């Protein structure tokens, strides 16, 4: 079964989804639950919510949750690379492409970031343009800036 539950956070209401005993999605404020998810707060979803609250309080720098993001092999390799970016630091799309041994795949890394189903926990907000500019983010650039500022504050 697939489950989802919604919580209030400093960036608005978020939905945390579980599938096959692993976190499968995180939805930003305004997004509705996928139709194949049942509205239920499971112990795993509750644990994820606690860890996200600790993150916003500056008490958690790494998440310790089973993850099950659905994507292609390339997307999963990019998402794995995102999880290796240290808290409070950023990398460019090119940096991530080089890290996954696809140095010419900057745009593909950008598309993988765009399709990241578990933002914040898989920290796609830590990826910025080569020139240091903030680029697109599913939660909006204001949320991306807030997350980056939060991490700098608690680093």
Do β-strands 2-9 and 38-39 pair in parallel, antiparallel, or remain unpaired? parallel
What is the pTM assigned to this prediction?
Answer: 0.96
Computed over every residue of the chain, the mean pLDDT equals 97
Quick one: tokens of 64? 């310790």
142 C-beta neighbours (distance < 10 Å), count = 11
Predicted confidence at residue 111, as pLDDT, reads 96
Structural domain contains residue 65: no
Residue 52 shares a structural domain with residue 86: no
The torsion angles phi and psi of 57, rounded to 5 degrees, stand at -85, 0
Residue 46 shares a structural domain with residue 84: no
Predicted confidence at residue 93, as pLDDT, reads 96
Predicted confidence at residue 103, as pLDDT, reads 96
Predicted confidence at residue 96, as pLDDT, reads 98
- Tell me, what DSSP letter sits at residue 124? G
Predicted confidence at residue 147, as pLDDT, reads 98
Residue 80 shares a structural domain with residue 46: no
Confidence grade of residue 24 (pLDDT, cut at 50, 70, 90): very high
Residue 25 is among the residues annotated as catalytic for this protein: no
Cα 28 to the center of its chain, rounded Å = 10
Residue 149 shares a structural domain with residue 87: yes
Do β-strands 127-128 and 91-92 pair in parallel, antiparallel, or remain unpaired? parallel
Q: Considering 45, 81, 124, 127, which one is annotated as catalytic?
A: 124
Domain with 40 in it: 2-56
Average pLDDT over every residue of 64-70: 97
Quick one: tokens of 25? 């999605």
Cα 143 to the center of its chain, rounded Å = 12
Structural domain contains residue 83: yes
Q: Are 23 and 65 in contact (CB under 8 A)?
A: yes
Structural domain contains residue 64: no
Residue 121 shares a structural domain with residue 82: yes
Total domains, the chain: 2
Predicted confidence at residue 133, as pLDDT, reads 92
Residue 24 shares a structural domain with residue 91: no
Predicted confidence at residue 91, as pLDDT, reads 98
Q: Among all chains, which residue has been given the structure tokens 């745009």?
A: 107
Residue 24 shares a structural domain with residue 97: no
CATH number for the domain spanning 26: value is 3.30.160
CATH number for the domain spanning 137: value is 1.10.10.10
pLDDT, tens digit (0-9, with 9 covering 90-100), for 71-113:
999 999 999 999 999 999 999 999 999 999 999 999 999 999 9
Residue 32 shares a structural domain with residue 78: no
Confidence grade of residue 64 (pLDDT, cut at 50, 70, 90): very high
Residue 18 shares a structural domain with residue 48: yes
Residue 88 shares a structural domain with residue 148: yes
pLDDT, tens digit (0-9, with 9 covering 90-100), for 108-154:
999 999 999 999 999 999 999 989 999 989 999 999 999 999 999 99
Residue 87 shares a structural domain with residue 148: yes
Structural domain contains residue 66: no
108 C-beta neighbours (distance < 10 Å), count = 18
């Amino acid at each position: 079964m697939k489950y989802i539950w919604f919580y209030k956070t400093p960036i608005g209401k978020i939905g945390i989804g579980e599938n096959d005993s692993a976190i499968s999605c995180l939805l930003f404020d305004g997004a509705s639950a996928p139709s194949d998810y049942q509205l239920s707060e499971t112990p795993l979803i509750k644990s994820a919510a606690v860890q996200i609250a600790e993150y916003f309080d500056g008490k958690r720098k790494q998440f310790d949750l089973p993850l099950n993001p659905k994507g292609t092999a390339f997307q999963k390799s990019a998402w794995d690379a995102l999880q290796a970016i240290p808290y409070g630091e950023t990398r460019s799309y090119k940096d991530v492409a080089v890290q996954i041994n696809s140095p010419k795949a900057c745009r593909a890394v950008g598309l993988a970031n765009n399709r990241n189903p578990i933002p914040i926990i898989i920290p796609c907000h830590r990826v910025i343009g080569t020139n240091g500019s903030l680029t697109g983010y599913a939660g909006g650039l204001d949320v991306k800036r807030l997350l980056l500022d939060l991490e700098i504050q608690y680093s």
